[in-house]
Amino acid sequence: MHDVLIGLAKAAILVALNQPENFDLEGALKQYPQLKENGAVFVTINKRANDQLRGCIGSLQAYRPLYKDVIANAQSAALHDPRFPPLTPEELKNIKIEVSVLSEPKVLHYSDIDDLKKKIVPMKDGIVLRHDGYQATYLPQVWEQLPDFDAFFSSLCMKAGLPGNCLDLHPEIQVYHVTKYEEE
């Protein structure tokens, strides 16, 4: 499955940049029928040299076939991540792609911040934070950059457009896990 998901994401990016690609989608769909089942993925593009983020877009809910979600999110991560200019063909050899297949997010019930601290599993839990029409998510991989609970949630609050101490507002928290496929 690894090679298929990475290959599909790369091919989708090549198509978006009008570059030649030779991915056999029909063959992949025959070999891996689960690609036709609804799935939710995040596609992350990192710079090879320093592992710096270059684009990341994804779906939290599975609402279309997995292969279509990979294609759409790979192209969006390459061209439409508002934090970065669109990827150029010149950059293609300097990036590596990561595809994270998400489990369905589940609401986590908690009484206060201390209770939340006990229930969250750093490095394993992806988090969706929602409050008052604002929302943001961090994949489990983000714990590698922000291993401290308070720093992680302060950053996630701000990503959602909320104050850094938004946990005081008792936002809705959902947890999900990912199966990560990384380009070598």
For residue range 101-127, what is the model confidence (pLDDT) as tens digits? Answer: 999 999 999 999 999 999 999 999 999
For residue range 46-88, what is the model confidence (pLDDT) as tens digits? Answer: 999 998 999 999 999 999 999 999 999 999 999 999 999 999 9
Q: Given its phi and psi angles, is residue 18 left (phi above 0), alpha (psi -120 to 50 degrees) or beta?
A: left
pLDDT averaged over every residue in the chain: 96
Using the structure block, give the residue that is written with the tokens 């909320």: 162
Distances (CA, A) of 55 to 10, 52, 76, 81: 13, 9, 8, 6
Kindly tell me if the per-residue pLDDT of 1 is higher than 90.
no
Distances (CA, A) of 135 to 3, 18, 52, 132, 162: 32, 33, 24, 8, 9
**Separation between Cα atoms, residue 177 and residue 139, nearest integer Å:** 8
- Please, what are the domains in the chain? 2-102 (3.30.700.20), 106-177 (3.30.1490.150)
Kindly tell me if the per-residue pLDDT of 19 is higher than 90.
yes
For residue range 80-91, what is the model confidence (pLDDT) as tens digits? Answer: 999 999 999 999
| pLDDT value, residue 184 | 86
In this prediction the pTM is: 0.91
**Would you say 56 and 45 are in contact if contact means Cβ atoms under 8 Å apart?**
yes
- Name the nearest CA neighbour of 125 among 112, 107, 113: 107
| Per-residue exposure over 60-99, b if at least 16 CB sit within 10 Å of its own CB, e if not | bebeebbbbbbbbbbbbbbbebeeeeebeeebeeebbbbb
Query: With helix as H, strand as E and coil as C, how does 21-82 read?
Result: CCCCHHHHHHHCHHHHCECCEEEEEEECCCCCEEEEEECCCCCCEHHHHHHHHHHHHHHCCC
Kindly tell me if the per-residue pLDDT of 2 is higher than 90.
no
Average pLDDT estimate for 25-43: 97
For residue range 122-160, what is the model confidence (pLDDT) as tens digits? Answer: 999 999 999 999 999 999 999 999 999 999 999 999 999
